Amino acid sequence: MFPRAKSFLRKHVLATFVGICFANALVVFISGCSSREEIEKIASAESVPEAKVYPKHEDWNLAVTCRECHAEQYDDWMGSHHQLAHRRIDPERDAEAFSGVKTTDEAGRSFDLLADGGDFGISEAGAGLPSGVDAVIGETPIQQFLVPFEGGRFQIQEMTWDPHKKEWFNVFGNEVRDTGDWGHWSQQGMNWNSNCAWCHMTDYKKNYNLETNEYASTWEIEAISCIQCHSDMEHHVAAARAGDYTQRIGEPNIELAMDNCASCHARREELTDSGFHAGEKFDEHFRLVLPDLPNAYFVDGKADEENYVFASLKLSRMGHKGVSCLDCHNPHSHETILPVEDNSLCLRCHSTGLNEATIIDPITHSNHKADSAGNQCVTCHMPQRDYMQRDPRHDHGFTIPDPQLTIDYNVPNACAACHEDKSTEWARDAIDKWYPESERRDELRDRAGVLHAYYNGDGNASTDVHRLLQSEENTYWRSTYLRILGAMAPGTPESLDAALAGIRSESPVERESAMRILGNRSDRLADVQKGLNDPSLLVRNQSADTLSSMFNPNQKAFKEWKTYAEVNSDRPAGALRRAELAIQQGDLYLARQLAEQAASFDKNNAHLLYDIAIMFARIGDVNGALYKIAKAKELDDSIALLYFGEGLLHAENGDTMKTIEAMEQAVEKDETQDRWWYNLGVAYMQTNQTEKAQNALIQAVQLNRTEMQYQQVLGQLMQQQQQ
């Protein structure tokens, strides 16, 4: 027996059915512009008609209400991934999964399956963690279960049910995660409120309280409903029932429809407090993850980590030409509008030239038989990759298979999926034979080489990134290159030219990426300040983040930035960002509290403890900072930065001998850091160890000959020795 889990829905009233209400899901209808005469007429007070007031309908938000007029769309939606995105535990529906007594995961750990009437639970032997299951995410191909925790938290259990194979498996495979790890199922990396709920519920509000570190999350309807994808629904229902429904005139705004899809089907950082609603722009609420983030993508543009397709599409040539989700998918059922097995969907464009597509004969192009998998467009250009162990997803980057990239950079290629008995070299030779002169392939190999160099820390890669930027037309690749330059080489004249061109772009994504270069230059403060008044919240946020030390509570951009910091304060980086503001405002108690909360979110992260130690030092608690460094070294004593930081803290305390001891260990572990050698040399000078000081300073100069301070101090030391 185990306690009944608290009701997952609490005070929420759920509809029996949830559905999609308009003929085009995810499409927001925007009226066209009026002529000047019409505008002037409307502007006249005498011409403005009184707005009609309709009776209120309490069921305006329910799917069954939409079904009154949109039965076909409702039927399409029933059984879709949106309709089944989230549901309550069902005693009958879920009984099969919990019919056993025990299950074992891939790492050999044992879990008890608990069943008590209509209540179910999953308990890892000896873990001592909550076990009662309250709700289910997803239906197929896998089902994940929510476990209520204190503080309004819901955590996603790692043990997952495969409804097709009728078996349990661990979503982390055979990886064993410690209970202090960010990614352990009981920790913040697997917290439903912060990471999952927004895309599985309708009108979700996280409601995180940073001071109490608790959630009071709310939502309108469980799973994804009509009102999540269509705006102004209350008025629409009232007008329709009053007989005043007016048919939309003109085409829907596909860009806004795509933004609605992207709000969930993109890997992104939230900028507002659950503020996005249908009809609004994605970039006013989210920051998109692009391939400047190492490991997010392979060097050929295919998704590596879970990026949820939107950025992949936008980075592709098809996305650049304007191909949208709705060109391929029925927005209510999520199925493709034409079959992919016989290439009908792809040939909709590639046999007609629609959307500027290249005309293709599949057999000639693929060099495979008509009835083979190799002749299917999606097999080669949208290869599948498994996520969460058993969830295969098609890549939406529409890349070309190139086994040479597998040889060079270990990039997966579609050929190997079918030809497991053949070598990668065999596949490479076949591709080279079929397409002996492919400019496109050469371009992609060039880009792959540049990204590989960047991902592996090659400081010379920035030159090639500049070169790629000059010829790139796709806004999202341009933005990627600008972000890379902002991280690698913001100080070069070429980067400055690129940034000044980028901030004039029509795309807020490109302007925001360009702002990262300017924000890393001390000579472009005026340009960053101008960004505080940019039309896009995305750009204003980046500018305010750069200028956060100049926080002005009365300025719009900084108010938005504060909301951003607080919204993300249930993550380590967000908590530290908000703590920085607390320090500026003199609230050292809150700063310390947030720093401790950041540490609690990722208990085994030594780098995080280092950042917290530096923050403690800034508020004058040097001994507290040294304690954090000591804890970090217990976690990982191989990190050279910890010893350098420890040396600085001892210097702050005036203990030069301990400073030298720590910094000697730092340069022993990483001898490439010129600043470390310089600081060690100065410490040696303070203790009259002139020979050691000279050697350390020589090391600093050899590592960085452009830093004049090193040479000046070394020169002074040598002059003193001569005297």
Q: What is the pLDDT of residues 525-547, one digit of tens each?
A: 999 999 999 999 999 999 999 99
Residue 22 counted as domain residue: no
pLDDT attached to residue 51:
66
Going by the DSSP 8-state scheme, the letter that residue 354 receives in this structure is G
Q: Residue 158 falls within a domain, yes or no?
A: yes
CATH number at residue 532: 1.25.10.10
Do residues 482 and 360 both lie within one domain? Answer: no
Predicted local confidence at residue 23, as pLDDT: 34
Q: What are the φ/ψ torsions at residue 396 (nearest 5 degrees)?
A: -110, 20
Distance of alpha carbon 314 from alpha carbon 258, whole angstroms: 10
Q: Return the beta strands (E) in 342-468 as ranges.
A: 384-387, 391-394
Strand, coil or helix: 566: helix
513 and 364 in a common domain = no
Q: And the tokens for 468? A: 């790629």
Classify residue 349: in a domain, yes or no: yes
- Output the pTM of the full model: 0.89
Whether 238 maps to a domain, the answer reads no
Say what the pLDDT of residue 720 is.
87
Q: Which of 199, 222, 245 is the last residue of a domain?
A: 222
Same domain, residue pair 126 and 152: yes
Domain count, the chain: 3
Domain presence at residue 314? yes
d(CA 577, CA 574): 5
Residues 116 and 169 in one domain: yes
pLDDT in tens, 118-154: 899 999 988 999 999 999 999 999 999 999 999 999 9
Q: Is residue 530 part of a domain?
A: yes
Examine the domain organization and report whether 438 and 544 are in the same domain: no
Range of the domain at 150: 86-222
Domain shared by 309 and 408, yes or no:
yes
Task: Give me 366's structure tokens.
Answer: 């693929």
Which residue ranges of the chain lie beneath pLDDT 50? 1-48
Q: Are 465 and 451 in contact (CB under 8 A)?
A: no
Using the 3D structure, point to which of 437, 455, 473 is the last residue of a domain.
Answer: 455
- Considering the domain architecture, whether residues 445 and 299 belong to the same structural domain is answered as yes
| Same domain for 382 and 340 | yes
What CA–CA distance (Å, rounded) separates 95 from 116? 10
Q: What is the model's pLDDT at position 624?
A: 96
The pLDDT score that the predictor gives to residue 178 is 92
The answer on 342 and 203 residing in a single domain is: no
Return the biggest CA–CA distance within the chain.
Answer: 100
What tokens does 672 get?
């490439």
236 within domain boundaries: no
Q: Are residues 404 and 507 in the same domain?
A: no
Last residue of one domain, picked from the residues 400, 434, 455: 455
Residues 312 and 433 in one domain: yes
Decide if 296 contacts 288 (C-beta within 8 A): no
